[in-house]
């Protein structure tokens, strides 16, 4: 029992792994074959019966036309007279007729044989067969020979004939006076029935095949549509899963960059505080101390000397504060297009260093957020400063491109010093600051060094993602 259950599960799994059209071919084909067999069997049986009945009717008309006029004496007699029997013998004794209809019996009611081509049966009484009873009731009937019937055993029948029972009526009253039982050799009928059965089976098989092909075409089309939709759905799910994983990774990178940027901002604030404390604050403190000396100066010359010292300290302090402010405050770029932002940072660098910077692809008309503009400004500013500091401004080039919502900006020089390397430790924020700033917007930052083409830094930001992060 367990083996049968395992086998059923195995076949069920194999069946479930098939495509919809293949499942239809297997299941539908089996059902169609069973239906075709049942339909063919019944159609063949019905058509065969109709053929037999048609043969019986045509034979009955022939026999009635030949025999009925010769047996009218049976209205009053129990047996045919000699003249009538001789006439019947002469009629059915011809070779063509006798080959097809070798035996003829004429029955009276009660199963008495009034005439027979087998003379030994005349006058004998036999059991009334169903066909004989139906004929006495007025119906033409046809049946195959019952070899166990006594009258057939007397004649030693070994093969079956088609027995056709024909009611014989009186010419005046129309009353059934006898029944003619004609035995037809079934060879011709068997060939006809075989042809009819073959034609019936071919018709049923053809109709079933056409139905199967038509349904298969519809199911195959639907199956292909479902398979294409499933394939497209799987592809979309894979794309969604891939994009989801990318978004998770991007969110994590953005979060990490934001944390690191916060830490760097805090570090920068500490450095600004240290610079203010060690620079301008010290000078202002020095000037404050000198004020007391001015009050105590004994001579105008000494007072003037102390005032000049205070003036110099305050001027140095002011210069340092201004220098620090220029590094912290960007020019007003919020309402400028990105192309103008690029031109401004390049122009300021050229004025400050006296070098030349080549710009490629700076004419971008797309509007960007303020955060993107600040990031691009700082990126180019830091990149050009490093190119000037480490490569002497040799081959300074800025590249800008905006394609398919992806903004790419790069700074390159042709110097030999390898400055485009990650900065570690607390010596400076440089490239680390740029990386954190770019990644906080969901972008990517990379640096590379080529021996013949110098150093290059590049940032790329997907604008849709950057807008969400903002």
Q: What is the pLDDT of residues 319-351, one digit of tens each?
A: 778 767 765 656 677 788 888 999 988 988 888
In this predicted structure, what is the pLDDT of residue 417?
A: 61
Alpha helical stretches, state H, 164-279: 186-278
Report whether pLDDT(113) > 60.
yes
In this predicted structure, what is the pLDDT of residue 223?
A: 76
- Report the predicted TM-score, pTM, of the whole model to 2 decimal places: 0.41
What average pLDDT does range 22-50 have in this prediction? Answer: 74
Measure the CA–CA gap between 420 and 455, rounded to whole angstroms: 6
Q: Token match 């919809």: residue?
A: 20
Query: Which residue would you say has higher pLDDT here, 173 or 341?
Result: 341
pLDDT category at 467 given cuts 50, 70, 90 is low
What the block records as the tokens of 245 is: 């994983």
Q: Token match 């660098």: residue?
A: 349
Q: What share of the chain is helix, strand, coil (3-state, %, to 5)?
A: 65, 15, 20
What the block records as the tokens of 104 is: 């003829």
Q: What is the DSSP letter of 125?
A: B
């Amino acid at each position: 029992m367990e083996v049968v259950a395992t086998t059923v599960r195995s076949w069920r799994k194999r069946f479930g792994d098939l495509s919809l059209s293949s499942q239809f071919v297997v299941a539908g084909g089996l059902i169609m074959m069973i239906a075709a067999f049942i339909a063919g069997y019944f159609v063949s049986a019905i058509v065969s019966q109709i053929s037999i009945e048609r043969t019986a009717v045509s034979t009955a008309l022939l026999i009635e036309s030949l025999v009925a006029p010769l047996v009218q004496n049976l209205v009053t007699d129990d047996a045919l007279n000699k003249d009538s029997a001789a006439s019947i013998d002469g009629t059915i004794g011809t070779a063509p007729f006798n080959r097809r209809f070798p035996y003829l019996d004429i029955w009276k009611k009660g199963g008495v044989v009034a005439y027979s081509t087998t003379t030994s049966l005349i006058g004998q009484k036999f059991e009334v067969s169903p066909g004989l009873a139906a004929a006495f009731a007025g119906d033409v009937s046809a049946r195959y020979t019952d070899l166990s019937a006594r009258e057939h055993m007397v004649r030693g029948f070994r093969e079956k004939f088609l027995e056709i029972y024909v009611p014989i009526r009186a010419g005046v009253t129309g009353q059934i006076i006898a029944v003619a039982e004609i035995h037809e050799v079934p060879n011709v009928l068997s060939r006809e029935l075989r042809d009819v059965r073959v034609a019936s089976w071919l018709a049923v098989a053809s109709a079933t095949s056409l139905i199967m092909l038509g349904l298969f075409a519809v199911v195959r089309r639907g199956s292909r549509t479902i398979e294409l939709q499933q394939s497209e759905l799987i592809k979309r799910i894979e794309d969604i899963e891939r994009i989801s994983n990318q978004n998770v990774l991007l969110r994590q990178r953005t979060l990490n960059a934001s944390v690191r940027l916060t830490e760097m901002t805090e570090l920068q604030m500490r450095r600004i505080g240290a610079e203010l404390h060690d620079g301008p604050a010290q000078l202002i403190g020095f000037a404050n101390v000198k004020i007391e000396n001015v009050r105590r100066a004994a001579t105008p010359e000494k007072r003037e000397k102390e005032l000049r010292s205070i003036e110099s300290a305050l001027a140095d302090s002011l210069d340092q504060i201004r220098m620090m402010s220029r590094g912290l405050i960007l020019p007003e770029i919020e309402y400028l297009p990105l192309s103008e932002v690029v031109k401004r940072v390049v122009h300021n660098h050229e004025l400050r260093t006296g070098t030349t910077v080549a710009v490629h692809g700076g004419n971008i008309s797309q509007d960007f957020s303020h955060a993107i503009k600040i990031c691009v400004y700082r990126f180019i500013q830091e990149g050009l400063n490093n190119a000037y500091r480490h490569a002497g401004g040799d081959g300074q080039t800025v590249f800008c491109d905006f394609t398919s919502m992806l903004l790419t900006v790069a700074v390159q020089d042709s110097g030999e010093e390898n400055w485009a390397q990650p900065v570690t430790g607390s010596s400076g924020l440089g490239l680390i600051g740029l990386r954190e700033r770019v990644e906080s917007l969901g972008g990517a930052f990379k640096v590379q060094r080529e021996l013949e083409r110098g150093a290059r830094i590049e940032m790329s930001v997907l604008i849709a993602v950057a807008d969400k992060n903002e």
